[in-house]
Amino acid sequence: FSQDLQEDSLKFRLNGSLTNIYRETLLRPGKVTVDSIALNEHKKSIELHTNLSLSYLPMRKSTVSLIYDSVRYFLPPAQKKYRIGVFSDRQEISQLVPNFFRDKQLDKNRIIRNKVKNPLVTNISKPEGLFEKGLQDNHIALWQSHGWYYEQKLGRWEWQRARIFQTVEDLYTQSYVLPFLVPMLENAGANVLLPRERDYNKQEVIIDNDGSKRGSTYRETNGKETWRNSDSAGFANLR
């Protein structure tokens, strides 16, 4: 019973300290609570598991040190030198520090490994040229939500996601993925592959050298290879 009281008292003090760190860091209301404390006298270790709120902090090396110093401060004198582990969202909080802000011990699982020597597509007219770092020679599969599909029961084409407060997910996500996110990734050197059409222009142009209208111009210029008519059918409508 006495041990339970001591643990409850420790939780109460830690809750207040960690909540203050949360609010001072994010500048918004919120509460961090310690869900459980695991004490191992044999290994001289203590593990604290908190609610998800602590994992919402933008973890940096200084933030992790502040949290651990705060926890150690409230431990009984006999346990201040124990090895401490603070966990939130089932992860030790130092693992929540992004690789970019780490001096060492980079998480290799977060490092892109599928670099290739020859990318699938190369934009030879790109003014930026090649990148030595960034996302150069990386391929990213990305799509801006869903799109039109044919609903058999209703006999019509419709958006895959329902309208919520006059917003259609299939259009809303596209409104920032195509004009902002995709160019940002491409400008960093990546090849972005989109299975859904990226051009939302309603005008479509079909070039047909055999069926062009009077007044239009179509030219074929031979380069290393010579243009020739194919012996198989193309995409033109039958005439």
3 state DSSP class of 167: strand
50 neighbors 34 (Cβ within 8 angstroms)? yes
Distance, CA of 170 to CA of 180 (rounded, Å): 16
Check whether residue 24 and residue 120 sit in a common domain: no
- pLDDT on residue 1: 36
Check whether residue 70 and residue 139 sit in a common domain: no
Check whether residue 8 and residue 101 sit in a common domain: yes
Whether the pLDDT of residue 211 is over 70: the answer is: no
Distance, CA of 43 to CA of 71 (rounded, Å): 18
Q: What domain range is 18 assigned to?
A: 2-107
Look-up of token digits 């604290």 = 48
CATH number, domain of 37, equals 3.30.300
Check whether residue 119 and residue 192 sit in a common domain: yes
Residue 226 lies in a domain: no
- pLDDT on residue 118: 76
Record the pTM. Answer: 0.59
Given 90, 107, 124, the domain boundary residue is 107
Check whether residue 6 and residue 103 sit in a common domain: yes
Q: Which helix (H) or strand (E) holds 88?
A: strand 83-88
- pLDDT on residue 3: 60
- pLDDT on residue 121: 78
Residue range 17-50, pLDDT digits in tens: 999 999 999 999 999 999 999 999 999 999 999 9
Higher pLDDT, 11 or 196: 11
Residue 228 lies in a domain: no
Number of structural domains in the chain: 2
Average pLDDT rounded to a whole number, residues 206-218: 70
Q: What percent of the chain stands above pLDDT 90?
A: 44
Check whether residue 40 and residue 70 sit in a common domain: yes
Check whether residue 154 and residue 59 sit in a common domain: no
Check whether residue 8 and residue 93 sit in a common domain: yes
Q: What percent of the chain stands above pLDDT 70?
A: 88
Average pLDDT rounded to a whole number, residues 178-203: 87
Residue range 77-99, pLDDT digits in tens: 999 999 999 999 999 999 999 99
Instruction: Provide the greatest CA pair distance for the chain.
Output: 97
Give the residues across from 84 on adjacent strands.
Answer: 46
Token pair recorded at residue 41: 């006298």
Whether the pLDDT of residue 11 is over 80: the answer is: yes
Check whether residue 59 and residue 13 sit in a common domain: yes
Read off the amino acid at residue 79: Q
- pLDDT on residue 113: 66
Residue 207 lies in a domain: no
Check whether residue 60 and residue 147 sit in a common domain: no
Q: Is 72 exposed, middle or buried (0-12, 13-18, 19+ CB in 10 A)?
A: middle
Look-up of token digits 């994992």 = 55
Residue 213 lies in a domain: no
Distance, CA of 26 to CA of 14 (rounded, Å): 18
Residue range 112-146, pLDDT digits in tens: 666 677 778 777 776 566 667 778 878 889 988 88
SS (H, E, C) 179-239: HHHHHHHHHCCCEEECCCCCCCCCCCCCCCCCCCCCCCCCCCCCCCCCCCCCCCCCCCCCC
Check whether residue 21 and residue 80 sit in a common domain: yes
Look-up of token digits 């031979």 = 222
Confidence band for 56, pLDDT divided at 50, 70 and 90: very high
- pLDDT on residue 2: 47
Residue 103 lies in a domain: yes
Distance, CA of 160 to CA of 164 (rounded, Å): 12
Whether the pLDDT of residue 228 is over 90: the answer is: no
Q: Which helix (H) or strand (E) holds 45?
A: strand 45-50
Check whether residue 102 and residue 169 sit in a common domain: no
Residue range 59-76, pLDDT digits in tens: 999 999 999 999 999 999
Distance, CA of 88 to CA of 36 (rounded, Å): 11
